[in-house]
Amino acid sequence: MTETMQPAAPQRTWLSTTVRYGKMAYTATFKTDRADLRKLDKAIVRTDRGREIGTILTVPTTIPEGRPSDSLWDVVRKASADTKASTWNFNPHKRELQLQSAVVPPSRLADELKRTPGCGAAAKLD
Which pLDDT score is estimated for 13? Answer: 84
Overall size of the chain counted in residues: 126
**Per-residue pLDDT tens for 1-20?**
566 677 665 677 899 999 99
Residue 94 has pLDDT above 70, yes or no: no
Alpha-carbon distance 79 to 116, whole Å?
A: 48
Instruction: Give the mean pLDDT of the chain.
Output: 77
* 95, 57 Cβ separation under 8 angstroms: no
* 45, 16 Cβ separation under 8 angstroms: no
Which pLDDT score is estimated for 27? Answer: 94
Q: Quick count: other Cβ atoms within 10 Å of Cβ 115?
A: 9
Cα-Cα end-to-end distance for the chain: 99
* 28, 21 Cβ separation under 8 angstroms: yes
Q: Give Cα separations from 4 to 7, 9, 31, 97 (angstroms).
A: 9, 15, 35, 68
Which pLDDT score is estimated for 73? Answer: 93
Short-list 22, 35, 25, 37, CA closest to 87: 22
Average pLDDT over residues 85-106: 59
Contacts with 90 (C-beta within 8 Å, 6 or more apart), sequence order: 23, 25
pTM of the model: 0.59
